[in-house]
Structure 1
Amino acid sequence: MMGTPPWVAGLGDPPIAHAMAEMRPAIDALGAASAAVMGIYGSGGGDAQKKADGSPVTEADLESHRTVSRALAATGHAILSEEGPPAALGAGETAWIVDPLDGTADFVSRTGEFTIMAGLVRSGRPVLGVIAQPAAQAIFVAQDGAGSYRGHGGSWERLRAGPERGAPECRAVCSRNHLSDVDRAVLARLGVAETVQVGSSIKACRIAANEADIYVTTTDRMKQWDTCASWCVVTEAGGRMTDALGGELEYGAGSVAHRHGIIASCGGRIHDLAVGECRAALG
């Protein structure tokens, strides 16, 4: 397994007084996976194949999965990974939910907008989220009750989602590769100030960092590994993440699918307005 790259190792630990024991192993695991992924990215490799469900997968997805899974296995917790075998998690189980390469299409098209994510769930609730953005040499870490942080350039920065804004002042982010006509219509009815297409969970990270205010997708193809780490990063920054109908997201036991889309926001009235528009659009 490749070692933790200097841009991760040089950060040290986030400034959290009572960090969970799993935090540093997760940071190091995603750092090592970032090095592996960027090795493939820089070599020009990573041609996509189609999985059974039609979604793309590359050698980078698989190598990241192997790297993260080997590292996190030492924590003793179960691992549910997009590229791993199906895992039935118990309702009260502590488990990792991992997306080894979020934004595979962006990896293939070389936009740099891909991430690696690991979230730790206890009794159905995410309590730790780590997101690495390898091409930007940035890592995001959030712990339940302890805040959300971005590590970049050798230091950690506390993240706080933006203050409540009216829709005409809101900055929306939406999918680069999966933006539907329904999503476009919802954003148009909200009347947001601007809409920028962005790849992967970088959308959630921008909301946590007060670089965007709202993200809406009405797709029924989102899975637990697409949102688990992001949920921590957004909510610990003071934002909010629900399904598109306003329901709480479920993790662990049961289906891995989020059947009713996703809304992530800085919170406040814009989130409620987006829920209302999605309910109207989805019937």
Structure 2
Amino acid sequence: MRNNSGLVLWFTGLSGSGKSTVCARLGEMLEARGIPYVNLDGDKVRAERKNALGFSKEDRDANIQAAAEMALEAARDGKVVLVSFISPYRSHRGLARKRIGDGFAEVYVNSPLAVCRERDVKGLYARAARGEIANFTGVSDPYEAPEKADLELRTDVESATESAARVFDYLCLEAVKRAARKAGQALLSLYDSGLKGREKAYGGGPVTEADLESERVILESLGGFGIPVLSEETEDDFVRMEADEVFIVDPLDGTKDFLQKTGDFSVMIGLARGGRAVLGAVYWPTEDKLYFAMKGGGAFVDCGGVVRRLAVSSRKGPDAVMLVSRNHRLPKEIEIAAEIGIRSFKEVGSAGLKLCLVAEGVGDIYVNSSDKTSEWDICAGDVILSEAGGILRDLKGERIKYNKKDVRNWDGFRAESGRG
């Protein structure tokens, strides 16, 4: 991928599950965006190796090893590598993951054996059943399904195009996560450098060289996708208005907290499609916590390499904890707290962090009645909160729409657990 190290997507599943078809659709999506990729399947590996290996475990060993080496070489050239192999044994896939490293993702193309048999235009299952093909996966040799794939596709209930779109979103999310971490490390490198903030010319609050450096890192990291970017620190040219999807970025959410050295600041990157947040990541540099989510895939937090799923709490009413800003608290927010009967408050900087802490169950409600926030303050946190079981609405009770011409949140917003 341009401006990035590549990624190897290892598609595994029974013969007839749809691996090759999904890879073909995904390849079309990548090509349309100008993203370099390689489609690698068993036929290509055998042609490259100039052999005619069969289905024995030894032959599969040799092919998997060859595929892993070829995939790694292409990934080092910055390409997205689509590897389509049955690869029935967990041990094989584990070896491929170990050889390729952090750029490896296992995609389980899950379709029931009966459906795969129906799709078998080559008649391989029938031939295997008659004993004409030995060691055939699903008939005379087992398939060991992934215990914890990076992404699972159900090709018996969704089309190949729908599956490919989900894989593309996974690619975007991985790039967003990497970019958020990289930008966060850039912020930390400047944290103790004595930076001074200055007010933006249009009265949009403080900005520092750290904001600009973080934004530079993010724009460079996401440039290969060909998707417009709406970012707080870059003048809006409105090219995004012609696009259905847009990255929405706050390179440093909580600039005041950054300057005050409270530790409560974050990097936020979201992707909106059709006006709705579909994936996002929020990185908390001082805690090394990365919150992330993809629509329909759940919300997670990676804390120092330990990943766990997020779920909102069930606390309500007087037992609820309200997250509030250190730097301002408006009458409407105090009024809502009184209506609910809230007695517990927790001060936290960064709107994005407060949304994520509601998703994590640390807090239960966060109200921002100001008209000073914009789409970049909430897009990434919106999908994370939603996938954790929470709700984000404006103060009129409406869902937030993204990629509007006017990006300000004029009606404020309210985030809460949605349980109880």
Matched, 1:156 2:303: no
Aligned ranges for residues 122-271 of structure 1 at < 5 Å? 122-163=273-314, 165-200=315-350, 201-268=352-419
Aligned ranges for residues 54-65 of structure 1 at < 5 Å? 54=203, 55-65=205-215
* Matched length: 262
Distance across 2 between alignment mates of 1:11 and 1:199: 33
Partner of 2:126: none
Higher helix proportion: 2
Distance 1:91 1:155, change over 3 A: same
- Give a deviation string over 1:80-119, Cα, whole Å, max 9, x none: 0000121322365211000000000000000000000000
- Give a deviation string over 1:139-187, Cα, whole Å, max 9, x none: 0110000000000121211001112x33111111011112113322221
Distance across 1 between alignment mates of 2:305 and 2:419: 33
Q: Percent identity?
A: 34
Between stretches 10-19 and 53-62, larger displacement belongs to: 10-19
Aligned with residue 79 of structure 1, among 229, 252, 260:
229
Query: TM-score by structure 1 length?
Result: 0.87
- The answer to whether the Cα contact below 8 Å between 1:80 and 1:87 also exists between their aligned partners in 2 is no
Query: TM-score by structure 2 length?
Result: 0.59
Q: Which amino acid aligns with 1:57?
A: V
Distance across 1 between alignment mates of 2:301 and 2:343: 26
> Following superposition, which runs of at least 4 residues in structure 1 exceed 4 angstroms of deviation?
9-16
RMSD of the TM alignment (CA)? 2.2
Distance across 1 between alignment mates of 2:326 and 2:282: 19
- The answer to whether the Cα contact below 8 Å between 1:91 and 1:252 also exists between their aligned partners in 2 is no
Distance across 2 between alignment mates of 1:247 and 1:268: 18
Secondary structure at the residue paired with 1:203?
helix
Matched, 1:47 2:190: no
Greater RCO, 1 or 2 (C-alpha within 8 Å, sep 6+): 1
Distance across 2 between alignment mates of 1:193 and 1:11: 46
Q: Which amino acid aligns with 2:371?
A: D
Distance 1:87 1:126, change over 3 A: farther
Structure 1 unaligned segments of length 5 or more: list them: 4-8, 270-283
Structure 2 unaligned segments of length 5 or more: list them: 6-100, 106-148, 153-165
Q: Which amino acid aligns with 2:199?
A: K
- The answer to whether the Cα contact below 8 Å between 2:279 and 2:293 also exists between their aligned partners in 1 is yes
